[in-house]
Amino acid sequence: MSASDYVSHLFSYEGQVVVVIGGTGVLGGAICDGFGKAGGHVVVSGRSEERGLARVEAIRQAGGSAEFIAVDVFERESLQSLRDQVLASHGQVDVLVNCAGMNAAVPYEEITDEDWDWIMAGNLRSTQVGCQLFAAHMKTQENGGSILNIGSVTSHLPLSKVFAYSASKAAVVNLTKNVAREYATQGVRVNAICPGFFPAEQNRKILAPERVEKIIGQTPMDRFGEPEELIGACLLLCSRNAGSFITGADYYVDGGFTANRF
Ligand SMILES: NC(=O)c1ccc[n+]([C@@H]2O[C@H](COP(=O)([O-])OP(=O)(O)OC[C@H]3O[C@@H](n4cnc5c(N)ncnc54)[C@H](O)[C@@H]3O)[C@@H](O)[C@H]2O)c1
């Protein structure tokens, strides 16, 4: 086997259907591009049709295959409809990436129940419902499937100013491990990546200059991450060959941020 055949055996997604919820966002978009370049058919899913179609076009321009399906992660019916549409068109779903997310920086004593519930539903319940709906089908497939959730460095370190976000991301990692255990013998692997700091839409408002200085100061690599730098970890964790014995992992891609503290 040649070197390129070997690498391809480990990391190719040819013939696989990859659904990226939140594929219209900054990190989700890069993840979509990565799976597209690795040969997967990418279902870019999110709220904005305009952004979704632009991402589909970019994947096609790069030689990949993609489509857009709208979803609202607050609605179980919408997530169910996404899954059912994918299965109706393709008859299979090999990878699900739960990459939608929301954040808000609110002083602790001013957090309302509405703020709290919005973030918990958007980050945690949506991940739970995605896992539940897709794993139930994946376990019936001959090749099983793989789910990737998105934690954060806040999954282990409570970050100041974003209380609900931190709690939701800690719970996403806990849920990931629990669902991984549940499906471990049923052909469905469930992992999480925990990104460090990557400037994006949802955190633009909380990245004030003095906070940026603090974050970079605590990141050993002395810089923010680039969205493309998440792709390698995603391809590894979701790969049925390279990642076949990896489940329940929380994998940090953070320029060493958490290495400073553990
Ligand atoms: N950017 C970072 O530094 C960072 C760090 C750690 C974790 N994360 C996580 O990565 C994920 C992606 O975030 P991002 O930074 O790319 O932000 P982003 O704002 O660019 O993307 C968020 C995505 O969530 C989608 N979304 C929001 N509400 C939705 C809804 N109701 N239904 C469907 N989709 C909805 C948006 O359309 C968008 O695609 C989030 O879970 C975020 O918490 C980001």
Q: What is the pLDDT of residues 127-140, one digit of tens each?
A: 999 999 999 999 99
Which amino acid does the sequence have at 16?
Q
**Mean pLDDT over each residue of the chain, to the nearest integer:** 96
Known active-site residue 165: yes
Sole residue written with tokens 């990546």 = 193
Give the DSSP letter string of 50-73.
Answer: HHHHHHHHHHHHTT-EEEEEE--T
Angle, helix 163-183 to helix 126-138, in steps of 10 degrees:
10
210 inside domain: no
Joined tokens for residue 102: 């929301």
- Nearest residue (CA) to ligand 1, atom 32: 72
Between β-strands 188-195 and 65-70, what pairing exists: parallel, antiparallel or unpaired? unpaired
8 inside domain: no
- Determine what percent of the chain is predicted with pLDDT higher than 70: 99
- Determine what percent of the chain is predicted with pLDDT higher than 90: 90
What is the pLDDT at residue 108?
A: 95
178 inside domain: yes
220 inside domain: no
**CA 200 – CA 74 distance, rounded (Å):** 21
Place 262 in a pLDDT band, splitting at 50, 70 and 90.
low
Place 206 in a pLDDT band, splitting at 50, 70 and 90.
confident
Instruction: Work out the average pLDDT over 137-153.
Output: 98
Q: 13-40: string of b/e by CB count within 10 Å (b at 16+)?
A: beebbbbbbbbbbbbbbbbbbbbbbbbb
pLDDT digits (tens, 9 = 90+) for 1-23: 999 999 999 999 999 999 999 99
Instruction: Please count the structural domains in the chain.
Output: 1
Report residues whose beta carbon is within 6 angstroms of any ligand 1 atom.
22, 24-28, 46-48, 71-74, 99-102, 122, 150, 152, 195, 197-198, 200-203
93 inside domain: yes
User: How many residues would you count in the chain?
Assistant: 262
Contact 220, 259 (CB under 8 A): yes
What is the pLDDT at residue 201?
A: 73
214 inside domain: no
65 inside domain: yes
Please check the confidence at residue 261 and state whether its pLDDT lies above 80. no
- Nearest residue (CA) to ligand 1, atom 18: 25
Whichever domain contains 132, its CATH number is: 3.40.50.720
pLDDT digits (tens, 9 = 90+) for 33-87: 999 999 999 999 999 999 999 999 999 999 999 999 999 999 999 999 999 999 9
Domain that holds residue 111: 13-203+226-255
**CA 259 – CA 220 distance, rounded (Å):** 8
Sole residue written with tokens 């941020």 = 257
Please check the confidence at residue 205 and state whether its pLDDT lies above 80. no
pLDDT digits (tens, 9 = 90+) for 225-251: 999 999 999 999 999 999 999 999 999
- Cα(222) to ligand 1 centroid in Å equals 23
Place 169 in a pLDDT band, splitting at 50, 70 and 90.
very high
- Residue among 6, 13, 108, 165 flagged as catalytic: 165
Instruction: Work out the average pLDDT over 151-175.
Output: 95
What is the pLDDT at residue 141?
A: 98
What is the pLDDT at residue 203?
A: 76
30 inside domain: yes
Contact 122, 75 (CB under 8 A): no
Residues 6+ apart with CB under 8 A from 46: 21, 22, 23, 24, 25, 28, 52, 70, 71, 100
